[in-house]
Structure 1
Amino acid sequence: MSTDIVAGPTPAGVRVERLVTSGTFTLDGGEWEVDNNVWIVGDDTRCVVIDCAHDPDAILAAIGERELTHILCTHAHNDHIDGAPGVARATGAPIHLHPGDRVLWELTFPDTAPDADLEDGQRIPVGDLELQVRHTPGHAPGAVCLYAEALGVVFSGDTLFNGGPGATGRSFSDYPTIVFSIREQLLTLPPETIVLTGHGDATTIGAEAAGLGQA
């Protein structure tokens, strides 16, 4: 597996790389084979990983010799966190998750816990930019999106896809809640903002606003 640079670099060299990993999503007694986007944000020295999905070895290879400072989870469905403990053990980086998703985390890892909470409005430094945490419940109670204003991108996890809101047909999800989250926390961003999703292709805030009748 290899990474593609999808945004940046900033003047100080911070860029966004995408690694696609494959595995199984399990919930409510069902199993689905899925491809996940793993996002690496950083420069040549330090980086963070957003959603350690499926394959710790591939993620560690993509990080290379860089210092990993944060493992950030957009939510705790197993396909977004199953590689996180392995990457954390190998690097010493702390795992961050919104406390609203502890109930989902414990379905996959009942005997361990994340290292730190993510909070709405929190700002996480990455080189010369910051990732702003935006709490977007609906797909999962503790779902968050991460907005990098300096790059003009938002990492939407499974809250918003190319084509509309994330799924809400399983436990701990709710459609009116996800629509409210998208309208309040994402559609308020500049329309040209690139949406980097948990699965599949990118989109823009403007395109998805039009799809939700808010252009």
Structure 2
Amino acid sequence: MSARVEHLTTSGTFSLDGQTFEVDNNVWIVGDDRECIVIDAPHDPDAITEAVAGRDVRAIVATHAHDDHIRHAPALAARVQAPVLLHPADAELWRMTHQDGAATSDLSDGQRLEVAGTELHVLHTPGHTPGSVCLYAPDLATVFTGDTLFNGGPGATGRSYSDFPTIIDSIRDKLLALPPDTRVLTGHGDSTTIGDEAPHLHEWIRRGS
């Protein structure tokens, strides 16, 4: 059985720089009836555990370490006996939420994760945070972008640990290089495609200057 993508939306809060906001987060599950990978573990470990439905969870991948993406990662990992994977450049952000420990394994640019016969290619895409990553699944013509690229433009860069020129470089060099028909499944909000977003690169640069 080939891998499929399942979608779950959870609601909660995001806190940084002394401010807290209500947010809805996308959780993506990639796999088949036997095994899966969970992409982000934000607000509701019960709902994610129910969606996993007893499958072998190969990993819980954090696209970045803002609290609305990792708040329940350790608890979920303990329930499903899976490692939490995070790029080490986000270790400081991780410790702002989980002071008592680190993620259980590091992600690196170019690393490949395999689940249900499908490879997910790790793309280090700093800018929203130093350790932001995207996961590209060529066989599924899909990239999971976390908060690096949304339907309508780049992720936010107005807070600590973020940088606008860096996120633009990441999007241009890593994401817009993917095939135009690649689905973009985001950390929040609606999906899009690389082809739909690519024509707006120069507009984003002007908007951020």
TM-score when scaled to structure 2? 0.96
- In the alignment, residue 88 of structure 2 is paired with which amino acid? P
- Give the C-alpha shift of residue 120 in structure 1: 0.1
Instruction: Give the corresponding residue for 2:10.
Output: 21
Unaligned runs of 5+ in 1: 1-11
- In the alignment, residue 30 of structure 1 is paired with which amino acid? Q
Instruction: Give the corresponding residue for 1:186.
Output: 175
- Give the C-alpha shift of residue 65 in structure 1: 1.5
Q: 2:192 aligns with which of 196, 203, 206?
A: 203
Alignment identity in percent? Answer: 62
Deviations 1:100-142 (A, max 9, x none): 0001000000111101000000000011110000000000000
1:122 is the counterpart of 2:111: yes
1:103 is the counterpart of 2:86: no
Instruction: Give the corresponding residue for 1:57.
Output: 46
Unaligned runs of 5+ in 2: 204-209
Q: 1:74 aligns with which of 52, 56, 63?
A: 63
Deviations 1:86-105 (A, max 9, x none): 11111110000000000100
Q: How many positions carry a matched residue from both structures? A: 203
Q: 1:156 aligns with which of 127, 137, 145?
A: 145
Q: 1:145 aligns with which of 127, 131, 134?
A: 134
1:91 is the counterpart of 2:80: yes
Q: Contact between 1:13 and 1:44, CA under 8 Å: does it hold in 2?
A: no
Instruction: Give the corresponding residue for 1:5.
Output: none
Q: Which has the higher helix share?
A: 2
Instruction: Give the Cα–Cα distance (whole angstroms) in 1 for the partners of residues 47 and 150 of structure 2.
Output: 24
Instruction: Give the Cα–Cα distance (whole angstroms) in 2 for the partners of residues 79 and 129 of structure 1.
Output: 27
Instruction: Give the corresponding residue for 2:23.
Output: 34
- In the alignment, residue 81 of structure 1 is paired with which amino acid? I
CA root-mean-square deviation = 0.9
SS in 1 for 2:33: coil
- Give the C-alpha shift of residue 13 in structure 1: 2.7
SS in 2 for 1:150: helix
Instruction: Give the corresponding residue for 2:164.
Output: 175
- Give the C-alpha shift of residue 212 in structure 1: 1.1
- Give the C-alpha shift of residue 213 in structure 1: 3.8
Q: 1:136 aligns with which of 94, 104, 125?
A: 125
Instruction: Give the Cα–Cα distance (whole angstroms) in 2 for the partners of residues 206 and 88 of structure 1.
Output: 35
Instruction: Give the Cα–Cα distance (whole angstroms) in 2 for the partners of residues 213 and 109 of structure 1.
Output: 38
Q: Contact between 1:162 and 1:203, CA under 8 Å: does it hold in 2?
A: yes
SS in 2 for 1:191: coil
